Amino acid sequence: MQESPLFIKTDELLIWLVRCTEKFPKSQRFRMARRIEDAAFSFQELIQAAAKMNSGVALIEADVQLST
């Protein structure tokens, strides 16, 4: 079974985000970087849950979180 482009792109986004947030100034790294990374990892968890449950509701929740 081929992995969905959504999962591949999300993984690529997470890798890119972590690399970017490592370059944040030390004063911002632990505030802004943490929030950005938490939101991205939470999105990844939601789409994985949606795939496992085969649920449109979980996917809608991921979409809502991404847009806020």
Q: Grade residue 1 by pLDDT with cuts at 50, 70 and 90.
A: very low
User: How many folded domains does the chain comprise?
Assistant: 1
* Average pLDDT over every residue of 7-15: 93
Residue 57 has what pLDDT? 80
pLDDT > 70? residue 5: yes
Residue 60 has what pLDDT? 82
User: Residue 34: which domain range?
Assistant: 5-67
* Average pLDDT over every residue of 38-59: 84
Cβ(47)–Cβ(59) below 8 Å: yes
- Among 45, 40, 1, residue whose Cα is nearest residue 21: 40
Cβ(40)–Cβ(17) below 8 Å: yes
> What is the pTM for the complete model shown?
0.76
Q: Give the chain's mean pLDDT.
A: 85
